[in-house]
Amino acid sequence: MQKKAATPTHAESSTDLTDPVFLKELRITMMKFAILQLSDEHLAEDAVQEALIGALKNAGSFNRRAALKTWVFAILKNKITDILRKRQNLVAASRLSHDDNGDEMQETLFDRKGLWKTEERPIAWSQPAEAVKNEHFWRVFDSCLNGLPENLARVFMMRELLELESNEICETLNISTSNLHVMLYRARLRLRDCLENNWFLGEK
């Protein structure tokens, strides 16, 4: 086991918040997340800024990037909750905790035997790696991600954008592992459906 250092080592661990590239990437992800939750770019900007300032105070005590991300993210989540509360936005608050969506999606996709409906059956995506270079593709990706129900978008982003481990997500959100699996499944079903319909089908 490596001993936890009080100050960041300069060797190869560019995991601290003084690394401009890491900080920039982290900030972009945080902004996307915050905008999604708050639907307001200015409020999102403030929340991210405050979370980062809060995080910088103790940045030195983290020597693992994943741990740092989890922590920064937890701070951001608190900021967002505060803002939502202050706004007394009951609609948004109830949306945050609402957790029942996905079953109707599965009814749309599968028949009664649980088989793909003919028109919903996934196609082979041609050259997904090429899509990365296409600006229009990212606009489609953006809108598909933003089209997810908020609770699904949140777990999906934590898992695939922040690259957090399952247990970290479950702890942060206080949900069970099986709950997480179901939510990720629902998010992926929707996201792949959206990308296929709005991008990969047109590519053919």
Binding site for another protein (CB under 8 A): 20-21, 24-25, 27-29, 31, 106, 110, 113-116, 121-125, 128-129, 131-132, 135, 138, 141-142, 145, 156, 159-163, 166, 180-181, 184-185, 188-189, 191-192, 195-196
Specify whether the backbone of 165 is left (phi greater than 0), alpha (psi in -120 to 50) or beta. Answer: beta
**29/63 with CB nearer another protein:** 29
Query: Looking at the DSSP assignment, which residues form a beta bridge with residue 116?
Result: 110
We find the least distance from the C-beta atom of residue 81 to another protein, in angstroms, to be 22
**26/75 with CB nearer another protein:** 26
Return the residue matching tokens 């991600």: 145
Distant-in-sequence, close-in-space partners of 189: CB < 8 Å, separation ≥ 6: 102, 105, 106, 109
We find the least distance from the C-beta atom of residue 161 to another protein, in angstroms, to be 4
Q: What angle do CA 87, 171, 30 make, to 5 degrees?
A: 50
As given in the structure block, the two tokens for residue 10 are: 């300069």
CA distance 143 to 128: 17
We find the least distance from the C-beta atom of residue 166 to another protein, in angstroms, to be 5
Three-state SS for 116? strand
**20/202 with CB nearer another protein:** 20
Whether the Cβ atoms of residue 140 and residue 198 lie closer than 8 Å to each other: yes
Find, among 138, 144, 170, the residue nearest to 155 by Cα: 170
We find the least distance from the C-beta atom of residue 88 to another protein, in angstroms, to be 30
As given in the structure block, the two tokens for residue 144 are: 């598909």
**75/164 with CB nearer another protein:** 164
We find the least distance from the C-beta atom of residue 5 to another protein, in angstroms, to be 25
**5/115 with CB nearer another protein:** 115
CA distance 112 to 106: 10
Find, among 121, 102, 94, the residue nearest to 110 by Cα: 121
We find the least distance from the C-beta atom of residue 87 to another protein, in angstroms, to be 24
